[in-house]
Structure 1
Amino acid sequence: MAQPTPTRVGIAGVTGKFAGLILDSLLEDPRVSIRGYCRNASKLASRYTQSSQIEIIEGSADDKAALAKFVEGLDVVICAYLGDHDLMINGQKALVDACDQAKVDRYVASDYSFDYTQLKMGDHPAKDPMKIIYSYLKEKDHVKGVHVVVGAFMETFWSTYFQVWNADEKTLVYWGSGEEKFESTTYGDSAKYTAAVALDRNAVGLQKFLGDRKNIVEIGQAIEKAYGFQPKLKCLGSLDELYTHMQGLFKKDPSNVFAWLSFFYQYYCINGQTHISNDLDNARYPDVKPQTFQDFLNTHALEELPTAMVDLAKRD
């Protein structure tokens, strides 16, 4: 006998841009009731605060009483936290503990990245919290962990932060041979898959989704097809040279995160270690039609690419 679709979904960190995209997907089903958790509900758009499907609980990440009130009676909790190590580790542990005590069935961890489970602790410092929470959930008596991996967000790929697309020079800057694949999924499609997973009681453990997988040459060809010009390709060195470069920046000043973080992401996006296996879960949710690199470029003006990630936060 098929299990009923869960209708009581919690979203922690509900005021974030990714959480908003998940909300939009969940609200398409009128049977779903949603409880959001945040520090300041005034940051939410009126279409959410006025929705009869949404209830908001305010509280901090370490407020045990507020967390207990938030998770009470829920079928699944989606964590959409984004912050420092304290929030991503201790904040999530407090939320996981509350879910376990309240016998919430599943906890969707704040992952939404490449397959960090293939990393060792310390390989990519920004992913250590994910590994810690992945292990922490395995220790719980009741709540089961759900971990959504999607590669790199496609909007982030084109941002100045990621340092691959140079909009001024119309150049793709890369490390390696040029044959290494980038795995990527848009924020919107990642949110749709996360919502679908939340409503699927059978979805536990690692959930693997991808919009596209292409190397830098293929991405250049997609640009030419979308915009009518061939971008320049600029190689900065081998993968070994990238590794040496990023480690040097990290050891020089670990606290200066923005000096080294994008290089760590680039390295682990293309060295194959964190690539998502080919047995993807896309087909389990056929209603989601993920965008490829070509689709994304076809639906964005050239000048919109560097700000696509920032523009997500400007939605009404």
Structure 2
Amino acid sequence: MGIVIGIAGITGQFAQLLTLELVKNSGVTLRAYCRNAAKVSQSMSSTPNLEIIQGGAFDREQVSKFVKGCDIVVCCYQGDDELMIDGQKVLIDACEKGKVPRYMASDWSLDYTKLEFGQLFTKDPMKHVKAYIETKSFVKGVHVLNGVFFETLFNPYFGIYDSETHTFSHWGEPGVLFEGTSYGNSAEFTSRVILNKDAVGVQRFVGDCKSMDDIAQSFEKVYGVKTNVVVKGSARELCEMMWNLRNQPSSQPNEYMAMFYQHYMVNEQTYVGPYYDNLKYPDVKAVSYEVFMRGVPLDQLPAAYQNPVVSRLQDKP
């Protein structure tokens, strides 16, 4: 039986990975929505059974045209709070009016449902959107949680992996666990949720959950390079530092956001587990940190977040 899938924000990296997964399935019809169709790559625009509709996030007429007849609308927006809250509300309203049974919010995150508003404030839009969907009588929300993306963990901005010294540094207890999933593996699990018409609500998938010592050990095994792990201090110390910095009038978000993300990872508040939905889709194999690293050359590891399509093609054992 066929399924019509709408993907809003098709030009994004994750949306493209997701599209590559979905087109593997016969009976899938894809409808894409974006501001500028010219930005869609030739390889993507020539994908069989893919229709591209151009329009802005707040163009209600075009959004209504886009969602009409869909079995599920998947939002892959990435942007400021206005887009992530109000832009998604436009999509949700259109789904409700157009009798679209499911709406997948732009989440793919640690478990923000365990946060209070204002704690990890970049996740507040996700909380607003989830609450908004729950006010609707017809369309049901779908929310995929996957921990931190592996590619992001090695991003120099987060200060966890130093590619010059091959040192892993983190806050929190020495054995604190880091839940994570590669972009590609997340796309695999997400595609199965999309194709399962009964899947609604919060869906939890994690590729691997390891301490930094274990991640470093896998690093040495894969790359043959000696590394070491440094614990910078406690989660409480990090919390005091990040809030002190944020409360300074001259501070900018890029100066403290990495601290906030790491704090809510290492204080264990936002774990996706302990119970995952991985086993609901046994055809998808969870990709571990080690398997992920096998697919990414050492010199490309810090920039893997910029090209997750490459790592996706290589993250198999």
Q: Match for 1:221: what amino acid?
A: Q
CA distance in 2, matches of 1:257, 1:23: 32
Q: Match for 2:58: what amino acid?
A: D
1:37 aligns with 2:33: yes
Deviation of 1:122 (Å) = 0.5
For residues 245-292 of structure 1, the C-alpha deviation after alignment (integer angstroms, 9 at most, x for no partner) is 111222225972211111111111121111112321111112211210
Deviation of 1:312 (Å) = 2.7
For residues 210-237 of structure 1, the C-alpha deviation after alignment (integer angstroms, 9 at most, x for no partner) is 0000111111111111122331222221
**Do 1:38 and 1:58's aligned partners in 2 also have CA atoms closer than 8 Å?**
yes
* Segments of 4+ moved more than 3 angstroms: 313-316
Corresponding residue SS for 2:6: strand
CA distance 1:96–1:173, shift in 2 (3 Å): same
Aligned to 1:17: 13
Aligned to 2:291: 295
Which moved further from structure 2: 144-153 or 279-288? 279-288
Give the number of aligned pairs.
Answer: 312
Corresponding residue SS for 1:52: coil
Q: TM-score scaled to structure 1, two decimals?
A: 0.95
CA distance 1:186–1:253, shift in 2 (3 Å): farther
Corresponding residue SS for 2:156: coil
What is the aligned counterpart of 1:109 among 101, 105, 109?
Answer: 105
Q: Match for 1:265: what amino acid?
A: Y
For residues 27-60 of structure 1, the C-alpha deviation after alignment (integer angstroms, 9 at most, x for no partner) is 1013100000000111111122122310011111
**Do 1:184 and 1:210's aligned partners in 2 also have CA atoms closer than 8 Å?**
yes
Q: TM-score scaled to structure 2, two decimals?
A: 0.95
Structure 1: gaps spanning 5 or more residues: none
1:277 aligns with 2:273: yes
Aligned to 2:302: 306
Deviation of 1:201 (Å) = 0.8
For residues 174-232 of structure 1, the C-alpha deviation after alignment (integer angstroms, 9 at most, x for no partner) is 11222111000000111111111111011100000000001111111111111223312
Q: Match for 1:50: what amino acid?
A: S
For residues 133-157 of structure 1, the C-alpha deviation after alignment (integer angstroms, 9 at most, x for no partner) is 0110100011000000000000000
What is the aligned counterpart of 1:224 among 215, 220, 225?
Answer: 220
Corresponding residue SS for 1:252: coil
Q: What is the percentage of aligned positions where both structures have the same residue?
A: 41
Matches within 5 A, 1:92-131: 92-131=88-127
What is the aligned counterpart of 1:71 among 61, 67, 71?
Answer: 67
CA distance in 2, matches of 1:254, 1:191: 39
Aligned to 2:46: 50
**Do 1:103 and 1:142's aligned partners in 2 also have CA atoms closer than 8 Å?**
yes
**Do 1:30 and 1:53's aligned partners in 2 also have CA atoms closer than 8 Å?**
no
Aligned-residue Cα RMSD (Å) equals: 1.6
